[in-house]
């Protein structure tokens, strides 16, 4: 029992240390890792938490799409409009990637810290991986 408690405490300390190291290495302000608040779109989310959203447009000729977050309490897509960044293999345009997104497509999104070295911000990302190597012809229903 004492051994298990010691390992658990040691693991927690290591996780805390690793988190601190990541923050320092990325140059991310400590406030970014705290609970996010301030507007309706992010009010009920924390970094890494998954949320459901519905697209407000068809697949654009870019790597991002607008969507409305579903309200956690009601399940209605009225929790605010967000920009969702998408990972696209073999290309950079959602309009040429599969699975093809249409208006009112449900997607799963999550928040993550993004940095280009000079700028650090919190962004919404789609959990779906897109690929431009289509094996089907997709049309709007």
Total domains, the chain: 2
Which residue range is the domain that position 72 belongs to? 37-131
CATH number of the domain to which 75 belongs: 2.40.50
Q: Indicate whether 125 belongs to any domain.
A: yes
For residues 44 and 113, state if they share a domain: yes
pLDDT at 10: 62
Q: Indicate whether 72 belongs to any domain.
A: yes
Under 8 Å between Cβ of 50 and 26: no
The total number of residues written for the chain in this structure: 141
For residues 103 and 62, state if they share a domain: yes
DSSP tag of 101: P
pLDDT per residue as tens digits for the range 44-94:
456 677 899 999 999 999 999 999 999 877 888 888 899 999 999 989 999
Q: Choose among 22, 14, 12, 32: nearest CA to 121.
A: 32
For residues 1 and 15, state if they share a domain: yes
State the alpha helices, DSSP H only, in 1-141: 2-26
Q: Indicate whether 100 belongs to any domain.
A: yes
pLDDT at 15: 54
Give the Cα separation of 131 and 70 in Å (integer): 26
Give the Cα separation of 58 and 102 in Å (integer): 4
* Token output for 31: 């406030």
- pLDDT surpassing 50 at residue 26: no
Q: Indicate whether 94 belongs to any domain.
A: yes
């Amino acid at each position: 029992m004492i051994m298990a408690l010691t390992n658990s405490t040691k693991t927690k300390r290591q996780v805390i240390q690793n988190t601190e190291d990541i923050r320092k290495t990325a140059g991310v302000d400590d406030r970014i890792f705290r609970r996010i608040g301030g507007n309706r779109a992010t009010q009920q989310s924390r970094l890494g938490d998954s949320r459901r959203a519905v697209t407000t447009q068809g697949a654009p000729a870019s790597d991002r799409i607008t969507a409305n977050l579903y309200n956690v309490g009601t399940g209605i897509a009225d929790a605010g409009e967000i920009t969702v960044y998408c990972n696209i293999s073999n290309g950079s345009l959602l309009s040429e990637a599969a699975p093809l997104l249409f208006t009112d497509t449900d997607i799963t999104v999550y928040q993550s810290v993004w940095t280009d070295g000079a700028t650090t911000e919190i962004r919404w990302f789609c959990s779906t991986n897109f690929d431009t190597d289509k094996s089907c012809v997709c049309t709007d229903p």
